Structure 1
Amino acid sequence: MLVNVIEEPGTEMALRAALSSLCDLGTEGPHLIRLVAECEGVNALLAVVLESRSSSIRTAALRSLSTVCCITDTIRRFEQAGGLEILAELLTEETRPEAELSEAAAVLAQITAPWVEGNHNVRGLTESLPSIVHSLTRLVSNTRSDETLLLSAAALANLTFMEPQAVWPLLDCSTAGELLQSVKLRGPQASVFLQEQAATLLANMAAVPESRPYLAEQRAVVGLLCFLQIRHSPLQRAAEIAAAERVQQKSAIAISRLCSNPVVAAQVVELQGVSRLVKLCKDKRERNHSDGVLVACLAALRKIAANCGTGAVEELDALELVQPRLLDSFLLYSSRPESYV
């Protein structure tokens, strides 16, 4: 019924109501979303995006798409209907209202989300990467909207999970530097979720050795050390506390990878980063008892010690964190109560 109204709306009001209802339906669970796919709902929404003369209706259709494209069935329908090409073209049009571009970024973030089971690639993504990364980087640089920035950052971070080749257009567009600058401009108002996306992007880019000189030039390590300062609070929601842990873990992973370069490792020492890494290892409360954060910080400290010596760690009476074996250090400060013997 809803799909029929979207395909042949009697009035604009009816179309708006149907789009809103479909958006609500998308939160009711995968069984209903599969019905939307089977009834050609994805095709109908894409047709609205292409054909409607109203920006607010196109925006609503994109919002509905981002809601329903959360399982492989609907993502495959989106793919088969040429949805990725439509998104890529839409994002290149700078004259589009930002609300539309923001919702398009949300759809892209959704169809590339690493948590969608069985969704390992999207047809045509590789070919569209240069255009998409350029458009999202422009959004990151120009937007004053915190929501648009978060959605664009999430889309970019997700691209680095799904498509390893994304690193090359990211380097061409200086995306990491633009994102770090936008986060910096938000100051203390930058949400933990935005910091998580930025840390994720940097960690995934740093996994590619060719990207490390660029990240070092952008002084990404300064931003990462700022991200490491994040602390959870009992007043925060569970989602914010979990995100804070991920920020710490991803930041430490990125630092470890970047510290393969002795110059970057020396920067971390100079910026007192070793002190924060040691504290996160030794004080379980600082990392909300996360062993994932512990392992990432131990790896970073050992990479720094390998390139700069153990002096900075010894000054903090923390030599046990960098020798002898990683497993020994882990067991010493792990939050897990069970025996590993």
Structure 2
Amino acid sequence: MKPAAIQFFGNNANPYPGQLYLDSGAHNSAALIFRTAPTGGTITERMRVTSDGKVGIGTTNPDTARLRVETGAGGPRDAVHGTTFNNNGFGVVGSGIGNGSTGVLGQGSNRGVYGYSANGFGVLSESSTNVGVYGSSISGTGVLGESSSGNAGSFFGNVQINGRLTKSSGSFKIDHPLDPENRYLSHSSVESPDMMNIYNGNVTTDARGLAVVTLPDYFTALNAEYRYQLTVVGQFAQAIVARKIKNNRFQIKTNRPRVEVSWMVTGVRQRRLRQGPPYQGGRREDGRGARHISAPGGLRTAQREKRHARAAAGIGTATKRRKFYRARSTLSEHES
């Protein structure tokens, strides 16, 4: 009879630890396997520890994971469930130390990561120098926030959006200028079916009743479909747009000299600079949902800024992620 490769032994040194030992050297390179059987059922493998220290629960191949847990279609709902009753504790903690590593990766046909809390944080993510939360989706939603009575998302700091922002309503809230310590001032936003830019100011005509208004040097490159509004201030007089916008300037004429005029000019963003066609009556203008090539301020800027942000965060390309997801899915199919 050959000697057993597995041994149970203890140590007579305080605190007398006990050990379950499997000789995986020259004598045995197999895994340590744990099997159980329900009453009247068949013996089934539940867990194994490979010779190199990897642990698989519900799988015979831990693959590249130190611990891999899987449940079959008829198995428990949760593969891993972590609970803590300690104040300020964490049910699950994931940490990625190496360059380009990830602390927690969630992948699923419905939700990659789902967090819920009755009165705290459903998901808490922090970063000292890089991205705290990163969400990406090939065809769905990268990050989804939902709340029945609170905020689906709260941002304390600057927010940058490279792309179209679609919302059902809009407002801003700031400290009240008359009582900033105790009150807020809330205003609604100006809305338009067009991608409209607004420019305004005051100007006083000269002795001939003329005044030239100089707009930003990018005005004509950015805008089209100009519209004008003039209001005379302080006296009864007439004011007209004597010369329309050309080379980022236009001329105002009044029937009296030295008349103060309050002016406003609006322009619709040039089509080639738009993220997409404007919404009109709930539908896109071209009816096809087409994407348009954009210059600064549109899709091209969004793509460039996204590349820069991803590079700064050490995040791979979408192609690499798709290959990774396909590889993970293929591996799971082979193992099932």
Check whether TM > 0.5.
Answer: no
Structure holding more helix per residue? 1
Structure holding more strand per residue? 2
Query: Under TM normalisation by the shorter chain, which class is it?
Result: under 0.3
Q: Provide TM-score, normalisation by structure 2.
A: 0.27
**Greater Rg by CA:** 2
Q: Provide TM-score, normalisation by structure 1.
A: 0.26
